[in-house]
Amino acid sequence: MSHFTDLRDYIDALDALGDIRRVDRPVSADLEAAAITRRSYEIRSPAPLFTRIAEDRIGMRMFGAPAGVSSRPDMRLARLALSVGLPAETGAAQLVDHLVRTRDAPPVPPRTVAREGAPCKENVLLGDDATLDRFAVPRIHEKDGGSYLNTWGVIIARTPDGAWVNWSISRIMMLDGKRMTGLVMPPQHLGLVWQAWAERGEPMPYALVQGGAPAIPFVGGIPLPRGVDEAGYIGALHGEPVDVVRCETVDLEVPAHAEVVIEGHVSTGRDSLEGPFGEYAGYVSTQSSFQPVYTVEAITHRSEPIWPIVPEGRPADEYHTVTGTGRAANVLHALRRAGLPVTTAWMPFPAAMHWTVVTVPDDWRSKLPGVDTGEFTRRIGEVIHNSGGPSAMMPVTYVLDDDIDPSDEADLLWALGTRLHPRDRRYSWDAVVLPFMACYGEDERKAMRGPSVVHDGLLPAWGDGRLRHSSFAQAYPSDIRHQVLKHWDD
């Protein structure tokens, strides 16, 4: 297994697969780059690399859809797999298993390197020179509240006692050259760290990182348990430490191969209006709220830096591919720790993180003697409901046999259409609801409470009315299948 420590090497690897589209004409950071990226998601074209930004003055570039669905139909998850050190042809179940295994592996803490060897220190801007006005900050959607400079960058923050260093993704909007604002909401981890500083009456030191190893925003975008350092998880994922370097003005360390690092402090109060911003459910938001203000006190960057952008919207973009896969890994981890026989868990990209699918092996009855499909489904629902955090934020979960691949959309729809009773075999819990979940009513989203439903779609046991597939693989004997395949190209 190999991995990338640098965004540029990762882009080269995608280019070798034919999954990069270089856009060499001048493109505006004001909506145009985001619009091209959004269309690339929707038609599954290669990831756009913008080499000439119309408003640019320093040679910066932009990179869209860094972890979207690949344009290669034979390796749809190539960008995700390569991001975490797996082969480009890796499938969904193998990807989720890799994330689950890493959860149980000992963390590998980061390694501090000298600033002289850190690419992110090629250009150091302090004082009045440290201004966002030097960059072509992208505007993502027409109805957004402003230009959003952070859609795929990681915010690094440490609790006041130093016990927990959190690397996470949260949207950030530019106010002016020296100020930004963005969502800082408990129970999300960034919100918890900020709250600890605010309760002390002290501004929170932060560093905002664009670029670096592709695993950094990937892991920053998946839900790890509270108190777990993402840097140690990435080290375990890579099998070696992440190289980090000390910041210029705050007591934090950042990935040495980052493209851009912005440093400063976050206010203790909610001082600025933020939003609206188009979110992952795929609808244009009209909501804004008061959020803390980030001050910009230092900026370091590589020469000709590459700025990644993610224009959220209808599936599938990074908040479905990455965050959804991370949540599926959390579900699978919790179910296996509970001793339940499950094959995999998956959040189908088109459902915009509103559906979860759990598949179980054909022999599950031998491992749970005397348990019927309803009781098995109820146990799965109880584990998900009681696992806490993002794993509990599942509006709908389907439990199916593993004769189907939940990442294959045609396979999944066939199973849902033919194995779910129109009314019965479902279980419901009162659960945590995120305000972005479009399937709930306005009152439920405001209260952040609503129903979580688990559907029993399991087939009967063999001999109890279970039907075989009328498919090529099951409706014909092996000698006929072999003969057909042997002469297929004829």
Active-site amino acid positions: 279
Look up residue 172 and give its amino acid: I
Is the CA virtual torsion 283, 284, 285, 286 positive or negative?
negative
| d(C-alpha 61, C-alpha 411), whole Å | 39
3-class DSSP state for residue 41? helix
* Distance of alpha carbon 364 from alpha carbon 182, whole angstroms: 46
Residue 135, phi then psi, degrees to nearest 5:
-110, 155
Write down the number of H helices and E strands in the chain.
13, 24
Q: Which helix (H) or strand (E) holds 356?
A: strand 355-360
At 12 the three-state DSSP class reads helix
Backbone angles phi, psi at 328, to 5 degrees: -60, -40
Name the one residue in this structure whose structure tokens are 């934020």.
393
- 210 φ/ψ angles, rounded to the nearest 5 degrees: -110, 130
Distance of CA 108 to the CA centre of its chain: 21
* Dist. CA 136–CA 118, nearest whole Å: 24
The residue assigned the tokens 């760290």 is 193
Integer Cα distance of 268 and 245 in angstroms = 26
Closest listed residue to residue 390, CA positions, set 230, 226, 182: 226
How far CA 364 is from CA of 342, 373, 401, 485, in Å, comes to 8, 10, 10, 33
Question: 253-255 and 293-295: which strand pairing?
Answer: unpaired
Sheet-wide strand order for 344-346? 344-346, 355-360, 396-401, 449-456, 426-432
Tokens of 245: 């370097």
